[in-house]
Amino acid sequence: MTHSPKFLLIGSIEAYSGKSGTILGLGRQLQERGYAIAYAKPIGTDLNDNSSQNQDADVQFVTQVFGLKENQVCPPLLFLEKETIEKRLQGIDDTDYRKIFRSALLKIEADVVLLEGPGNLGEGSLFNLSFEELLQEITAKVILVARYNSPLIVDGLLKAKKELGAHLLGVVINDIPVSAIAEIETLIKPFLEQQGIPVLGALPQSDLLRSVSVRELAHQLKAKVLSSPDRLDLMVDSLTIGAMNVNSALEYFRKGENKAVVTGGDRTDLQLAALETSTSCLILTGNVLPQALIISRAEDLEIPILCVNLDTLKTVEIVDQAFGTVRLQESIKVDCIQQLMKDHFNFEDFLEKMALN
């Protein structure tokens, strides 16, 4: 490669805003236009349990999706784990991570390097890898991804504009409910653009992207899989708690589709009722195994049963947290985000601002 790559830092003002999804959508469009891309993530956040080495699951996944070579990937320099943080605080670790990061980037061969930034503008400061410090090391443009929650989304973006200045290429507003789309177009987008903050994309909410696979729930709950282990790729859109009498439960269960039902391992009546409706998985709490007839019926219907050593409250908390925050490591979600980015991201404007066309 005879020319230097262009660097694009993709960040957010809060974690789980959709950085990885934006990278997956943008990377695909760049590849389709013939640009060689690379991917770098200085701070690891998703340590892969199945690996003997310190590998970030996002990095492995993005590498695989885009078919990147070794000289097109810059893996994390560190993971934000308790031990790592304590060593830094105690002065045991005085590594110059900025210098290492810059050296790693010099080895990359690509037209565009997509850098996945920290969870927010301040994260990584302890290791000199915050947004501001990364931008001191490299000449990069920044796209900020913000998950829509209310019109006050503009507060965080205005503050970010003051901090990032001319580095800020534009923003992507993500996860917009149908009821707020008109407000984005007529109110928020014009206001931000008047403040010198281009809105490059406005992505509507997607039930599929907010859903979570049974496999991921099993992983997060540290569950035992009692039936249909080959059906763990089923997607869960909602959570239902079974704690009432069976007649009320049936009516309640029929309202939800592609749901996870959380109930006690000893509630055979509720388990049977749940299996007869649109259920993606049954989560049994209290480490109580169900009766054999439940496992048999679940096998017939190809519905996974997860048995967890947790109470109902903790189980519900973990599952609730998974919705909307789980990473995009399922091909069905990749297809979805790439289509959303094609439909709702101004790629031509992006190319022009990056001086790529």
pLDDT at 51: 41
Contact 36, 72 (CB under 8 A): yes
Contact 55, 75 (CB under 8 A): yes
Position 116: which residue type? E
Q: What is the dihedral of CA 191, 172, 162, 159, to 10 degrees?
A: 80
Residue 54 has pLDDT above 70, yes or no: no
Q: pLDDT tier at 247 (50, 70, 90 boundaries)? A: low
Lowest mean pLDDT among 36-40, 90-94, 289-293, 317-321: 317-321
Q: pLDDT tier at 115 (50, 70, 90 boundaries)? A: very high
Q: What angle do CA 170, 176, 182 make, to 5 degrees?
A: 90
294: Cα separation from own chain's centroid: 34
Contact 341, 202 (CB under 8 A): no
Q: What is the mean pLDDT of the segment spanning 228-246? A: 83
Handedness of CA 31, 34, 35, 37 (dihedral sign): positive
The mean of the pLDDT values for the chain is 88
Q: What is the mean pLDDT of the segment spanning 296-318? A: 93
Q: pLDDT tier at 49 (50, 70, 90 boundaries)? A: very low
Residue 204, beta-bridge partner list: 176
Lowest mean pLDDT among 171-180, 213-222, 314-323: 314-323
Contact 323, 8 (CB under 8 A): no
Residue 249 has pLDDT above 90, yes or no: no
pLDDT at 137: 87
pLDDT digits (tens, 9 = 90+) for 121-141: 889 999 999 988 999 888 899
104: Cα separation from own chain's centroid: 25
Residue with tokens 């763990």: 232
pLDDT at 41: 92
Higher pLDDT among residues 18 and 306, named by residue: 306
Q: Give the strand pairing for 212-213 and 235-236.
A: antiparallel
Residue 238 has pLDDT above 90, yes or no: no
Contact 13, 157 (CB under 8 A): yes
Integer Cα distance of 233 and 102 in angstroms: 39
Contact 130, 121 (CB under 8 A): yes
Q: Give the percent of the chain with pLDDT over 70.
A: 90
Rg for the chain, CA atoms, rounded: 23
Residue 245 has pLDDT above 70, yes or no: no
pLDDT at 4: 82
Residue 202 has pLDDT above 90, yes or no: yes
Residue 72 has pLDDT above 80, yes or no: yes
Integer Cα distance of 128 and 122 in angstroms: 10
Residue 324 has pLDDT above 90, yes or no: no
pLDDT at 50: 43
SS (H, E, C) the chain: CCCCCEEEEEEECCCCCCHHHHHHHHHHHHHHCCCCEEEECCEECCECCCCCCCCEHHHHHHHHHHCCCHHHEECCCEECCHHHHHHHHHCCCCCCHHHHHHHHHHCCCCCEEEEECCCCCCCCHHHCCCHHHHHHHCCEEEEEEEECCCCCHHHHHHHHHHHHHHHEEEEEEEEECHHHHHHHHHHHHHHHHHCCCCEEEEEECCHHHHCEEHHHHHHHHCCEEEECHHHCCCEECEEEECCCCHHHHHHHHHHCCCEEEEEECCCHHHHHHHHCCCEEEEEEECCCCCCHHHHHHHHHHCCCEEECCCCHHHHHHHHHHHCCCCCCCCHHHHHHHHHHHHHHECHHHHHHHCCCC
